[in-house]
Structure 1
């Protein structure tokens, strides 16, 4: 028997997201304002991009495979896997809703609102925020919130390992996009910030709705 908190998120994670989500949104706004309408790399991009391109070596095939983890064809499959796994958790449909809505809202906002609004281009295509980075970061956040934050009954080392794997996936996709010269580094930063803000906001909204529906004075029990 384990004690369940009344919402979707444990208290510490809820408090952390309440700070992290708006800070990420502010960081995204700052990057969008700074690079709006630009067609070339900034100083930060030059420093980071050159290093990644210089060290990519003979691993182009591997980099392309890694970058595909954030590609549009993979997104529906990733959402489906997350939604099915979320349906097996104690929170069921709120977890499923987070698994579907979080990544979808983040990617749609990136591709159809933010990219045209910012207008930054890379080799002629709209680039900020990076859609691939948005996609993988959004899915990584859903994974962490549902299966790390929401799984306190699992050993701490397993939760830590899962969190590290999620972060590694984000860094790998973002890094590969830069190394392959498909995006500037700040494009990928913007994608990660946007996904963090959106998934964080969706999770907080669902958590707040659940807490309003359930009495907080006496926690429910689940096996």
Structure 2
């Protein structure tokens, strides 16, 4: 039987990764570009085009409920102008690990990297005055796409989707009783569900071997609760 083009591409990626070494580290960029080219091809097969039709991408994703309708503050003419800013060559700047992380964690289905960055930039600039927002949007886009600035995970992942949570970091404290303990675990699950990171203060939990309800050495300390928090974060993963 014949070999598919996908198998050829996967083999090329594997070979590039095998060639990567401390002496020749740039092979990881070769693998990253091959991965991005696979994404381009898959996207073209799925929707009929790669880059060049940003306004159409926005329209389709709004119709599917994948993009927040706030992007429609921009006119079709403004979206066409924004389309001219897209530089596909910037997709080639990622090594393999970065390319895989970007595609698996941050991109929506049938979405390309520069489209995601441009949409985030437009939404960030949408609060500016109508006569000035495109100027700021272009500055934001180029800074994001060229990795001169880095967006927090919830912003890059959630800004362009409906009702996405943009908060990054949360801190909570767990008191030394079951109501507070499992309340904190529940809160951590909801935070993780919406893409946030959470730190939990467990210093109030009694030490290992402490008395519990008149029973000596009944407390297991903080480790069992840390395990539950860790398992919760794994089970309720943002992606």
Higher RCO (CA 8 Å, separation ≥ 6 residues)? 1
Which TM-score applies when normalising by structure 2? 0.23
| Larger fraction in helix | 1
Larger Rg: 2
Which TM-score applies when normalising by structure 1? 0.24
